Amino acid sequence: MCAGYLTWQQAERFEILPYSHGQSAERQINPKDKAPVFVQEGRSIAARAMRWGLPLQRDMTLFSARVEDAQDAPLLRAAYRFRRCAIPVNGYYEENAQGERFVFREREHALLYIAGLYTETKDGDCFVMLTAKSAENRNARVPLLLYADQTIRWLESTAQADAFREMGSTARLFCRGIKLRA
C-alpha cells in the first residue's frame, strides 16, 4: 500500500502550509505530515491543512481505509457521509523489501486526487486516504484515485461517493523505480 505521496509545492497560494522558495516543485508527504486537502464547506470547495492519519488508542494511527468498508465502519461512518476530502497528488510511492521506492504517476503527469475522509480531533483535523482493489493485481490495494472532474462529485454527494466505492480507481498509472530521499 501507499507509503507516502508527492504533492505540488504550490500549497502556499492557498496560504495553508509554509513554503520555502528553495524547495523543489514537488513535496514528499509521509504519514503524520500536515498536507493540503480539499473539503466541501457549504456550497464551495476549500483548501485546508490537515494531518495524515487518524489517531487511535495506544499510539496507533490509521492512515488508510478500504473504501468498500468505510461506509459501515463505526469509526468512519459519519466521515463517509459528511466529511469527505480530496488529497491532491502528483503521484504516490510504495517501498519494496529493500527500501527502494517506486513512484506511480498518471501517464500525462496530471494532478490527481486521492479520495479521503477527515475527522476532527482534539489536536486538529486529520485525514485518512481510501484504498480500492487494484485492477492489475486482485490482492493489492491502491489509493482511490480521482481525476479533477470526479473530485467535485466525490466531495458533494454521498450517492456519488457510493458510485466511486463500487468503481474503484479509474486513473491509469505507470510505475518507475526512483530513489526518493528518505
Per cent of the chain over pLDDT 70 is 70
pLDDT at residue 4 greater than cutoff 80: no
If DSSP codes are grouped into helix, strand and coil, which group holds residue 34?
strand
Q: How far apart are CA 147 and CA 3, in angstroms?
A: 21
- Burial of residue 128, with CB atoms counted within 10 A of its CB: 0-12 exposed, 13-18 middle, 19 or more buried: buried
What CATH architecture applies to the domain 4-177?
Answer: Alpha-Beta Complex (3.90)
Tell me the C-alpha distance between 65 and 88, whole Å: 17
pLDDT digits (tens, 9 = 90+) for 120-149: 888 899 999 998 877 666 557 888 888 888
User: Does the global pTM surpass 0.85?
Assistant: no
Q: Which residues touch 20 (CB under 8 Å, ≥6 apart)?
A: none
Domain ranges in the chain are 4-177
Q: Is the per-residue pLDDT at 161 higher than 50?
A: yes
